[in-house]
Homo-oligomer: A and B are copies of this chain.
Amino acid sequence: MALAGGIGGARFLRGLRLAAPDAEITVIGNTGDDISLFGLRVCPDLDTVMYTLGGGINEEQGWGRADETFTVKEELAAYGVGPGWFTLGDRDFATHIVRTQMLAAGYPLSAVTEALCDRWKPGVRLIPMTDDQVETHVVIDDPDKGRRAVHFQEWWVRLRASVPAQSIVPVGADDAKPAPGVLDAIRDADVVLFPPSNPVVSIGTILSVPGIRDAVAARTVVGVSPIIGGAPVRGMADACLTAIGVETSAAAVAAHYGPDLLNGWLVDEADAGVEVPGIAVRSRPLLMTDERAAAAIAEAALDLARELDKDAA
Interface of A with B (CB < 8 Å)? Answer: 38-40, 69, 71-73, 75-76, 78-81, 90-91, 93-95, 97-98, 100-101, 104, 115-116, 118-119
Contacts and interface: CB of A to CB of B under 8 A. Distances in A.
A75 B100 contact: no
A40 B90 contact: no
A100 B69 contact: no
Nearest to A36: B101
A66 to B, nearest CB: 12
A69 to B, nearest CB: 6
A101 B38 CA distance: 6
Nearest to A71: B90
Contacts of A115: 79
Residues of A contacting B: mostly: helix
A114 to B, nearest CB: 12
A97 B77 CA distance: 12
A69 B76 CA distance: 15
A119 B79 contact: yes
B76 A90 contact: no
Contacts of A90: 69, 71-72, 75, 90
A97 B76 contact: yes
Given A39-B104, A79-B116, 19 more contacts: A38-B98, A39-B97, A69-B69, A71-B71, A71-B90, A71-B91, A72-B90, A72-B93, A72-B97, A75-B90, A75-B91, A76-B97, A79-B95, A79-B98, A79-B115, A79-B119, A80-B118, A90-B90, A93-B97
